[in-house]
Amino acid sequence: MTIPVTFEVQDPFPFPADELLQEVITAVLDSENCPYECEVDVLLTDNASIREINREERQIDAPTDVLSFPLVAFEKPSDFDRLEEDLSLFHPESGELMLGDMVISVDKVFSQAEEYGHSVRRELAFLAAHSTFHLLGYDHETDEERLVMEEKQEALLQELGITRD
């Protein structure tokens, strides 16, 4: 599993963020029975940078908490059948499935943790889980999709013992 974490801002976390991200992303992949070792690139940035990315990629001129950029177009969420038919999805050297990138606003991690009354650790874990589910083809465009994602995210965080404090 390759999960490089890049900080565009000074690391403000009172815990090893890279270890938490590794734990959460790996747990999501395990919960979805991913049969592959995967690569997920994580960028931790600030509101100004994520706003710029959001404007360029989604034409939304506002900061957001997390952006997900999947490299795999799943027909159904977490449907790993037939992925091996497209070798371009796998890193040529490591053989890992290249799931995509996530961008997380550190500013939003802190403000939303305060707003929702839970720890910064829990908020970062939630955003990483949320983004990983997006990378696996889940979405929340409809109420039904939203409920599925919410249930999966909450169950995963409970299993990891990362609860609302």
The domain segmentation of the chain, as residue ranges, is 5-159
Separation of CA 143 from chain center: 20
> Could you give the CA distance from residue 89 to residue 92 in angstroms, rounded to a whole number?
9
pLDDT score, position 165: 64
CATH among 3.40.50.300, 1.20.120.1200, 2.40.50.140, 3.40.390.30 for 5-159: 3.40.390.30
pLDDT score, position 8: 96
Render pLDDT for 84-124 as a digit per residue (tens, 0 to 9).
999 999 999 999 999 999 999 999 999 999 999 999 999 99
Query: Torsion angle, CA of 135/14/164/138, rounded to 10 degrees?
Result: 0
The reported pTM is 0.95
**Spans of the chain below 70 pLDDT:** 165
Query: Torsion angle, CA of 64/69/73/74, rounded to 10 degrees?
Result: -60
Residue given tokens 């490089």 in the structure block: 4
pLDDT score, position 164: 78
> Could you give the CA distance from residue 165 to residue 134 in angstroms, rounded to a whole number?
25
